[in-house]
Amino acid sequence: MTLALLGGTPVRAKPYPPHITIGAAEKRAVNRVLDSGILSDYEGSNNRWFMGGPEVRAFEEEWAAYFDCKHAVAVNSATSGLMAAVGAAGIGPGDEVITTPWTMSATATAIVVNNAVPIFCDIDPETFCMSPQALERKITPRTKAIMPIHIFGHPAAMDEIMAIARKHSLVVIEDAAQSVGIAYKGRMTGCLGHMGVHSLNNHKIIQTGEGGVIMTDDDDFAQRLRMIRNHAEAVVATGMPVKSLVNMVGWNYRLNEIEAAIGREQLKKLRSFLNARYELVAHLSQKLGRYDGLILPVTRPGCGHSYYRFHLRLDPARIKVPMARIVDALNAEGMDFYPGYVVINGYPMFQNLIAFGDKGCPFRCPHYQGGTPDYGMDTLPNVAHAMEWSFSCEIIRPPQTFADMNEIDRAFDKVWSNLDRL
Protein backbone atom coordinates (compact mmCIF):
# COMPACT_ATOMS: atom_id res chain seq x y z
CA MET A 1 0.00 0.00 0.00
CA THR A 2 1.91 3.00 -1.26
CA LEU A 3 0.87 6.22 0.39
CA ALA A 4 -0.67 8.86 -1.87
CA LEU A 5 1.81 11.29 -0.32
CA LEU A 6 4.56 9.12 -1.80
CA GLY A 7 2.97 8.59 -5.20
CA GLY A 8 0.28 5.99 -4.52
CA THR A 9 -3.46 6.10 -5.24
CA PRO A 10 -5.53 7.93 -2.59
CA VAL A 11 -8.27 6.16 -0.67
CA ARG A 12 -10.80 8.87 -1.54
CA ALA A 13 -10.87 10.85 -4.76
CA LYS A 14 -13.86 13.15 -4.19
CA PRO A 15 -14.36 16.06 -1.77
CA TYR A 16 -16.66 15.69 1.21
CA PRO A 17 -20.15 17.13 0.58
CA PRO A 18 -21.34 20.10 2.66
CA HIS A 19 -23.09 19.56 5.98
CA ILE A 20 -26.64 20.79 5.26
CA THR A 21 -29.20 20.77 8.06
CA ILE A 22 -31.87 22.93 6.42
CA GLY A 23 -34.97 21.22 5.06
CA ALA A 24 -38.64 21.67 4.25
CA ALA A 25 -39.62 22.74 7.78
CA GLU A 26 -37.14 25.63 7.73
CA LYS A 27 -38.35 26.71 4.30
CA ARG A 28 -41.93 26.82 5.55
CA ALA A 29 -40.82 28.85 8.58
CA VAL A 30 -38.97 31.35 6.37
CA ASN A 31 -42.00 31.70 4.10
CA ARG A 32 -44.18 32.31 7.16
CA VAL A 33 -42.00 35.27 8.08
CA LEU A 34 -41.83 36.54 4.50
CA ASP A 35 -45.60 36.37 4.23
CA SER A 36 -45.88 38.48 7.39
CA GLY A 37 -43.75 41.18 5.79
CA ILE A 38 -41.90 41.80 9.08
CA LEU A 39 -38.26 40.70 8.97
CA SER A 40 -37.29 42.34 12.26
CA ASP A 41 -39.48 43.96 14.88
CA TYR A 42 -37.14 45.61 17.37
CA GLU A 43 -36.89 49.19 18.51
CA GLY A 44 -34.10 50.49 20.73
CA SER A 45 -36.57 52.20 23.04
CA ASN A 46 -38.54 51.53 26.20
CA ASN A 47 -41.65 50.25 24.45
CA ARG A 48 -43.34 47.00 23.47
CA TRP A 49 -40.90 46.43 20.60
CA PHE A 50 -37.87 46.34 22.89
CA MET A 51 -38.02 42.52 23.12
CA GLY A 52 -38.31 41.95 19.38
CA GLY A 53 -40.88 40.30 17.17
CA PRO A 54 -43.04 37.18 17.67
CA GLU A 55 -40.53 34.73 16.16
CA VAL A 56 -37.68 35.96 18.35
CA ARG A 57 -39.80 35.89 21.48
CA ALA A 58 -41.17 32.41 20.71
CA PHE A 59 -37.67 31.14 19.92
CA GLU A 60 -36.35 32.41 23.26
CA GLU A 61 -39.23 30.83 25.18
CA GLU A 62 -38.78 27.48 23.43
CA TRP A 63 -35.00 27.55 23.93
CA ALA A 64 -35.29 28.35 27.64
CA ALA A 65 -37.81 25.54 28.12
CA TYR A 66 -35.70 23.00 26.21
CA PHE A 67 -32.56 23.75 28.21
CA ASP A 68 -34.41 24.25 31.52
CA CYS A 69 -32.92 27.71 31.96
CA LYS A 70 -34.94 30.70 33.19
CA HIS A 71 -33.86 33.14 30.47
CA ALA A 72 -32.70 32.76 26.87
CA VAL A 73 -31.57 35.89 25.03
CA ALA A 74 -31.19 35.50 21.27
CA VAL A 75 -28.38 37.43 19.58
CA ASN A 76 -26.92 37.71 16.09
CA SER A 77 -23.84 35.60 16.90
CA ALA A 78 -22.19 33.73 19.74
CA THR A 79 -19.40 36.32 19.52
CA SER A 80 -21.96 39.04 20.28
CA GLY A 81 -23.33 36.84 23.03
CA LEU A 82 -19.96 36.54 24.73
CA MET A 83 -19.37 40.28 24.41
CA ALA A 84 -22.79 40.98 25.94
CA ALA A 85 -22.21 38.48 28.76
CA VAL A 86 -18.86 40.02 29.73
CA GLY A 87 -20.53 43.44 29.63
CA ALA A 88 -23.50 42.29 31.70
CA ALA A 89 -21.10 41.03 34.35
CA GLY A 90 -19.88 44.61 34.82
CA ILE A 91 -16.35 43.86 33.64
CA GLY A 92 -14.25 46.77 32.40
CA PRO A 93 -10.88 48.57 32.47
CA GLY A 94 -8.39 47.12 34.93
CA ASP A 95 -10.21 43.80 35.24
CA GLU A 96 -8.96 40.35 34.29
CA VAL A 97 -10.94 37.40 32.93
CA ILE A 98 -9.37 33.94 32.95
CA THR A 99 -9.95 31.66 29.99
CA THR A 100 -7.85 29.26 27.92
CA PRO A 101 -6.06 29.93 24.64
CA TRP A 102 -7.22 26.59 23.17
CA THR A 103 -10.27 28.10 21.46
CA MET A 104 -11.22 30.46 18.67
CA SER A 105 -10.58 34.18 18.80
CA ALA A 106 -14.05 35.34 19.90
CA THR A 107 -13.62 33.96 23.41
CA ALA A 108 -10.74 36.32 24.10
CA THR A 109 -11.86 39.28 22.01
CA ALA A 110 -15.15 39.37 23.94
CA ILE A 111 -13.04 40.24 26.96
CA VAL A 112 -10.88 42.78 25.12
CA VAL A 113 -13.94 44.55 23.65
CA ASN A 114 -15.02 45.31 27.20
CA ASN A 115 -11.59 46.86 27.90
CA ALA A 116 -10.54 44.00 30.17
CA VAL A 117 -7.47 41.79 29.95
CA PRO A 118 -7.66 38.06 29.09
CA ILE A 119 -5.47 35.82 31.23
CA PHE A 120 -4.80 32.39 29.75
CA CYS A 121 -4.53 29.23 31.84
CA ASP A 122 -3.58 25.70 30.87
CA ILE A 123 -5.91 22.93 29.74
CA ASP A 124 -6.68 19.38 30.79
CA PRO A 125 -4.50 17.09 28.63
CA GLU A 126 -7.37 14.69 27.83
CA THR A 127 -10.45 16.90 27.37
CA PHE A 128 -8.61 20.07 26.20
CA CYS A 129 -10.93 22.06 28.51
CA MET A 130 -9.86 24.42 31.29
CA SER A 131 -7.74 22.85 34.01
CA PRO A 132 -9.20 23.82 37.42
CA GLN A 133 -5.76 23.55 39.03
CA ALA A 134 -4.22 25.86 36.41
CA LEU A 135 -7.19 28.22 36.77
CA GLU A 136 -6.71 28.73 40.50
CA ARG A 137 -3.03 29.55 40.02
CA LYS A 138 -3.96 32.43 37.69
CA ILE A 139 -6.40 34.21 40.03
CA THR A 140 -5.33 37.67 41.23
CA PRO A 141 -7.11 40.56 43.00
CA ARG A 142 -7.92 41.85 39.50
CA THR A 143 -9.78 38.70 38.43
CA LYS A 144 -13.50 39.32 37.95
CA ALA A 145 -14.69 36.36 35.88
CA ILE A 146 -13.87 32.92 34.49
CA MET A 147 -14.71 31.84 30.96
CA PRO A 148 -14.42 28.06 30.52
CA ILE A 149 -14.85 26.61 27.01
CA HIS A 150 -16.58 23.29 26.37
CA ILE A 151 -14.15 22.74 23.53
CA PHE A 152 -15.02 20.31 20.72
CA GLY A 153 -18.24 19.54 22.64
CA HIS A 154 -16.90 18.01 25.88
CA PRO A 155 -17.91 19.88 29.07
CA ALA A 156 -15.28 21.53 31.21
CA ALA A 157 -14.93 20.43 34.85
CA MET A 158 -17.75 22.70 35.96
CA ASP A 159 -18.14 21.45 39.55
CA GLU A 160 -14.55 22.35 40.31
CA ILE A 161 -14.69 25.61 38.34
CA MET A 162 -17.87 26.75 40.09
CA ALA A 163 -16.37 25.91 43.49
CA ILE A 164 -13.35 28.09 42.68
CA ALA A 165 -15.67 30.86 41.48
CA ARG A 166 -17.65 30.77 44.72
CA LYS A 167 -14.45 30.81 46.78
CA HIS A 168 -13.25 33.98 45.02
CA SER A 169 -16.66 35.60 44.27
CA LEU A 170 -16.19 35.39 40.50
CA VAL A 171 -18.71 35.33 37.65
CA VAL A 172 -18.61 32.26 35.37
CA ILE A 173 -19.46 32.71 31.68
CA GLU A 174 -19.55 29.45 29.73
CA ASP A 175 -18.44 29.45 26.12
CA ALA A 176 -20.75 26.62 25.11
CA ALA A 177 -20.63 27.39 21.39
CA GLN A 178 -19.63 23.82 20.50
CA SER A 179 -21.63 21.89 23.10
CA VAL A 180 -25.28 22.62 22.40
CA GLY A 181 -27.54 19.92 23.83
CA ILE A 182 -24.79 18.30 25.92
CA ALA A 183 -25.28 17.43 29.58
CA TYR A 184 -22.88 17.67 32.48
CA LYS A 185 -24.05 15.64 35.48
CA GLY A 186 -27.68 16.00 34.49
CA ARG A 187 -27.75 19.65 33.46
CA MET A 188 -27.14 21.21 30.05
CA THR A 189 -23.98 23.13 29.26
CA GLY A 190 -24.66 26.83 29.00
CA CYS A 191 -26.85 26.62 32.11
CA LEU A 192 -24.14 25.63 34.58
CA GLY A 193 -22.45 28.99 35.19
CA HIS A 194 -23.94 32.43 35.76
CA MET A 195 -24.29 32.91 31.99
CA GLY A 196 -23.63 30.65 29.01
CA VAL A 197 -23.52 31.15 25.26
CA HIS A 198 -24.43 28.77 22.44
CA SER A 199 -23.61 29.32 18.76
CA LEU A 200 -25.96 28.97 15.82
CA ASN A 201 -23.57 29.71 12.98
CA ASN A 202 -23.53 27.49 9.91
CA HIS A 203 -20.73 25.23 11.21
CA LYS A 204 -22.45 24.29 14.46
CA ILE A 205 -24.66 21.33 15.43
CA ILE A 206 -27.80 23.37 14.68
CA GLN A 207 -27.72 26.65 12.83
CA THR A 208 -29.55 29.73 11.66
CA GLY A 209 -26.76 30.85 9.33
CA GLU A 210 -25.44 33.20 12.00
CA GLY A 211 -26.78 33.55 15.51
CA GLY A 212 -26.39 32.71 19.16
CA VAL A 213 -28.27 32.36 22.43
CA ILE A 214 -27.22 33.54 25.91
CA MET A 215 -28.71 31.64 28.85
CA THR A 216 -28.96 32.65 32.49
CA ASP A 217 -31.07 32.00 35.58
CA ASP A 218 -30.29 35.47 36.94
CA ASP A 219 -32.99 38.10 36.36
CA ASP A 220 -30.59 41.05 36.60
CA PHE A 221 -28.10 39.53 34.15
CA ALA A 222 -30.97 38.76 31.76
CA GLN A 223 -32.17 42.37 31.80
CA ARG A 224 -28.66 43.71 31.27
CA LEU A 225 -28.09 41.26 28.42
CA ARG A 226 -31.27 42.39 26.67
CA MET A 227 -30.28 46.02 27.05
CA ILE A 228 -26.76 45.53 25.74
CA ARG A 229 -28.26 43.61 22.82
CA ASN A 230 -30.56 46.47 21.89
CA HIS A 231 -29.05 49.99 22.21
CA ALA A 232 -28.97 50.17 26.01
CA GLU A 233 -28.03 53.85 26.15
CA ALA A 234 -31.16 54.77 24.15
CA VAL A 235 -33.39 52.43 26.16
CA VAL A 236 -32.24 53.95 29.46
CA ALA A 237 -32.77 57.43 28.03
CA THR A 238 -36.38 56.53 27.16
CA GLY A 239 -37.23 55.46 30.68
CA MET A 240 -36.23 51.82 31.26
CA PRO A 241 -34.74 51.48 34.75
CA VAL A 242 -31.36 49.86 35.30
CA LYS A 243 -29.48 49.22 38.53
CA SER A 244 -26.12 50.24 37.09
CA LEU A 245 -25.07 52.21 34.02
CA VAL A 246 -21.80 50.23 33.78
CA ASN A 247 -21.43 48.91 30.21
CA MET A 248 -24.87 50.20 29.25
CA VAL A 249 -23.39 51.76 26.11
CA GLY A 250 -25.43 49.35 24.03
CA TRP A 251 -24.90 47.66 20.70
CA ASN A 252 -27.05 46.10 18.02
CA TYR A 253 -26.73 42.36 18.59
CA ARG A 254 -30.30 41.53 17.53
CA LEU A 255 -31.38 38.29 15.84
CA ASN A 256 -33.91 38.82 13.06
CA GLU A 257 -37.27 37.11 12.54
CA ILE A 258 -36.11 34.80 9.72
CA GLU A 259 -33.17 33.49 11.75
CA ALA A 260 -35.37 32.99 14.81
CA ALA A 261 -37.95 31.08 12.76
CA ILE A 262 -35.22 28.81 11.42
CA GLY A 263 -33.87 28.35 14.93
CA ARG A 264 -37.24 27.15 16.19
CA GLU A 265 -37.22 24.36 13.61
CA GLN A 266 -33.56 23.49 14.14
CA LEU A 267 -34.12 23.11 17.87
CA LYS A 268 -36.65 20.36 17.15
CA LYS A 269 -33.95 18.43 15.27
CA LEU A 270 -31.14 18.84 17.79
CA ARG A 271 -31.37 15.40 19.35
CA SER A 272 -31.55 13.62 16.00
CA PHE A 273 -28.51 15.54 14.74
CA LEU A 274 -26.52 14.55 17.84
CA ASN A 275 -27.62 10.91 17.59
CA ALA A 276 -26.45 10.76 13.97
CA ARG A 277 -23.00 11.96 15.07
CA TYR A 278 -22.90 9.42 17.90
CA GLU A 279 -23.54 6.56 15.49
CA LEU A 280 -20.78 7.66 13.13
CA VAL A 281 -18.32 8.29 15.97
CA ALA A 282 -19.02 4.91 17.58
CA HIS A 283 -18.46 3.15 14.25
CA LEU A 284 -15.24 5.04 13.52
CA SER A 285 -13.90 4.70 17.08
CA GLN A 286 -14.33 0.93 16.95
CA LYS A 287 -12.20 0.90 13.79
CA LEU A 288 -9.50 3.33 14.95
CA GLY A 289 -9.03 1.72 18.34
CA ARG A 290 -6.62 -0.81 16.84
CA TYR A 291 -3.88 1.67 15.89
CA ASP A 292 -0.99 1.70 18.33
CA GLY A 293 -0.16 5.16 19.61
CA LEU A 294 -3.45 6.74 18.47
CA ILE A 295 -5.55 8.05 21.38
CA LEU A 296 -9.28 8.49 20.80
CA PRO A 297 -11.44 11.26 22.36
CA VAL A 298 -12.42 10.71 25.99
CA THR A 299 -15.81 11.29 27.59
CA ARG A 300 -15.56 11.76 31.35
CA PRO A 301 -18.13 10.15 33.71
CA GLY A 302 -21.31 12.18 33.95
CA CYS A 303 -20.53 14.03 30.72
CA GLY A 304 -21.93 13.99 27.23
CA HIS A 305 -20.05 15.00 24.08
CA SER A 306 -21.30 16.73 20.94
CA TYR A 307 -18.31 15.68 18.81
CA TYR A 308 -18.35 19.05 17.15
CA ARG A 309 -14.85 17.98 16.29
CA PHE A 310 -13.40 14.46 16.53
CA HIS A 311 -10.12 15.25 18.23
CA LEU A 312 -7.32 12.68 18.28
CA ARG A 313 -4.00 12.54 20.10
CA LEU A 314 -0.74 10.79 19.34
CA ASP A 315 1.35 9.13 22.03
CA PRO A 316 4.88 10.48 21.40
CA ALA A 317 6.35 7.51 23.29
CA ARG A 318 4.98 5.24 20.55
CA ILE A 319 4.73 7.51 17.52
CA LYS A 320 7.97 9.09 16.37
CA VAL A 321 6.52 10.74 13.25
CA PRO A 322 5.55 14.43 13.66
CA MET A 323 1.82 15.02 13.89
CA ALA A 324 1.88 17.45 10.93
CA ARG A 325 3.45 14.78 8.74
CA ILE A 326 0.73 12.28 9.66
CA VAL A 327 -1.98 14.86 8.92
CA ASP A 328 -0.38 15.55 5.53
CA ALA A 329 -0.37 11.82 4.78
CA LEU A 330 -4.02 11.39 5.80
CA ASN A 331 -5.15 14.39 3.76
CA ALA A 332 -3.23 13.13 0.74
CA GLU A 333 -5.48 10.07 1.00
CA GLY A 334 -8.48 12.38 0.54
CA MET A 335 -9.26 12.96 4.21
CA ASP A 336 -9.96 16.34 5.86
CA PHE A 337 -7.97 16.65 9.09
CA TYR A 338 -6.72 19.76 10.89
CA PRO A 339 -3.41 19.88 12.76
CA GLY A 340 -3.50 21.06 16.39
CA TYR A 341 -5.24 24.37 17.01
CA VAL A 342 -4.14 27.98 16.51
CA VAL A 343 -3.78 29.17 20.09
CA ILE A 344 -5.04 32.66 20.91
CA ASN A 345 -2.08 33.90 22.95
CA GLY A 346 0.03 33.64 19.79
CA TYR A 347 -2.18 36.07 17.86
CA PRO A 348 -0.62 39.45 16.94
CA MET A 349 -2.98 41.34 19.27
CA PHE A 350 -1.57 39.57 22.30
CA GLN A 351 2.02 39.32 21.18
CA ASN A 352 2.15 43.05 20.40
CA LEU A 353 -0.30 44.20 23.11
CA ILE A 354 -2.20 46.40 20.64
CA ALA A 355 -5.99 46.51 20.48
CA PHE A 356 -7.69 49.91 20.90
CA GLY A 357 -5.73 52.83 19.52
CA ASP A 358 -1.95 52.86 19.52
CA LYS A 359 -1.37 53.25 23.26
CA GLY A 360 -1.64 49.53 24.11
CA CYS A 361 -5.12 49.55 25.67
CA PRO A 362 -6.42 47.55 27.44
CA PHE A 363 -3.11 45.79 28.14
CA ARG A 364 -1.23 48.97 29.07
CA CYS A 365 -4.27 50.92 30.25
CA PRO A 366 -3.42 53.12 33.27
CA HIS A 367 -6.29 51.42 35.13
CA TYR A 368 -4.65 48.01 34.69
CA GLN A 369 -2.28 47.30 37.55
CA GLY A 370 -1.20 43.83 36.49
CA GLY A 371 2.02 44.79 34.76
CA THR A 372 2.68 43.32 31.33
CA PRO A 373 0.44 40.29 30.75
CA ASP A 374 2.33 37.06 30.06
CA TYR A 375 1.23 35.69 26.71
CA GLY A 376 4.04 33.19 26.35
CA MET A 377 3.85 29.39 26.58
CA ASP A 378 5.83 28.77 29.79
CA THR A 379 2.72 28.22 31.95
CA LEU A 380 0.84 26.30 29.25
CA PRO A 381 2.60 22.92 28.94
CA ASN A 382 -0.56 20.97 28.11
CA VAL A 383 -1.49 23.51 25.43
CA ALA A 384 1.99 23.17 23.93
CA HIS A 385 1.74 19.37 23.95
CA ALA A 386 -1.70 19.46 22.32
CA MET A 387 -0.41 21.77 19.61
CA GLU A 388 2.35 19.31 18.81
CA TRP A 389 0.56 15.98 19.15
CA SER A 390 -3.18 16.38 18.47
CA PHE A 391 -5.32 16.77 15.35
CA SER A 392 -9.00 16.69 14.45
CA CYS A 393 -11.69 16.47 11.80
CA GLU A 394 -15.33 17.49 11.36
CA ILE A 395 -16.31 14.73 8.91
CA ILE A 396 -18.08 12.64 11.56
CA ARG A 397 -21.49 14.10 10.73
CA PRO A 398 -24.16 13.66 8.05
CA PRO A 399 -24.27 13.39 5.10
CA GLN A 400 -21.29 11.11 5.80
CA THR A 401 -22.16 7.43 6.29
CA PHE A 402 -20.56 4.31 7.70
CA ALA A 403 -18.96 3.84 4.27
CA ASP A 404 -17.19 7.19 4.70
CA MET A 405 -16.04 6.14 8.17
CA ASN A 406 -14.63 2.96 6.64
CA GLU A 407 -12.68 5.10 4.18
CA ILE A 408 -11.17 7.03 7.08
CA ASP A 409 -10.16 3.74 8.64
CA ARG A 410 -8.51 2.61 5.39
CA ALA A 411 -6.57 5.87 5.26
CA PHE A 412 -5.30 5.32 8.81
CA ASP A 413 -4.42 1.75 7.93
CA LYS A 414 -2.29 2.94 5.02
CA VAL A 415 -0.57 5.61 7.09
CA TRP A 416 0.11 3.36 10.09
CA SER A 417 1.46 0.65 7.75
CA ASN A 418 3.91 3.20 6.40
CA LEU A 419 4.99 5.08 9.53
CA ASP A 420 8.56 3.99 8.98
CA ARG A 421 8.54 5.66 5.54
CA LEU A 422 7.20 8.94 6.91
Residue 145 is predicted with a pLDDT of: 98
Number of independent structural domains in the chain: 1
Q: Which amino acid is at 42?
A: Y
Q: pLDDT category, 44, cuts 50, 70, 90?
A: very high
Residue 345 maps to a domain: no
pLDDT digits (tens, 9 = 90+) for 360-386: 899 999 999 999 999 999 999 999 999
Q: pLDDT category, 190, cuts 50, 70, 90?
A: very high
Residue 90 maps to a domain: yes
| DSSP assignments along 260-280, one per residue | HHHHHHHHHHHHHHHHHHHHH
CB count in 10 Å sphere of residue 320: 11
Residue 89 maps to a domain: yes
| DSSP assignments along 179-235, one per residue | -TT-EETTEETTSSSSEEEEE-STTSSS--SS-EEEEES-HHHHHHHHHHHBTHHHH
Structural domain including 156 reads 24-266
Residue 274 maps to a domain: no
Whole-number mean pLDDT of the chain? 97
pLDDT digits (tens, 9 = 90+) for 86-125: 999 999 999 999 999 999 999 999 999 999 999 999 999 9
Length of the chain: 422
Residue 297 maps to a domain: no
Residue 225 maps to a domain: yes
Q: What is the mean pLDDT of residues 389-403?
A: 97
Q: pLDDT category, 294, cuts 50, 70, 90?
A: very high
Of 145, 143, 115, 146, give the one whose Cα is nearest residue 355. Answer: 115
Q: pLDDT category, 250, cuts 50, 70, 90?
A: confident
Residue 340 is predicted with a pLDDT of: 85
Residue 383 maps to a domain: no
Residue 330 has pLDDT above 90, yes or no: yes
Residue 342 has pLDDT above 90, yes or no: no
CB count in 10 Å sphere of residue 363: 22
Q: What is the mean pLDDT of residues 293-300?
A: 97
Residue 381 is predicted with a pLDDT of: 98
Q: Are 214 and 196 in contact (CB under 8 A)?
A: yes
Residue 359 is predicted with a pLDDT of: 86
Q: What percent of the chain has pLDDT over 70?
A: 100
d(Cα 257, Cα 54) in Å, to the nearest integer? 8
d(Cα 183, Cα 306) in Å, to the nearest integer? 10
pTM, to two decimals: 0.96
Residue 317 maps to a domain: no
Q: pLDDT category, 218, cuts 50, 70, 90?
A: very high
Q: What is the mean pLDDT of residues 32-61?
A: 97
Assign residue 172 the CATH number of its domain: 3.40.640.10
Residue 341 is predicted with a pLDDT of: 82
20-57 as b/e: b if 16+ CB within 10 A:
ebbeeebeebbeebeeeeeebbbbbbbeeebbbbebbe
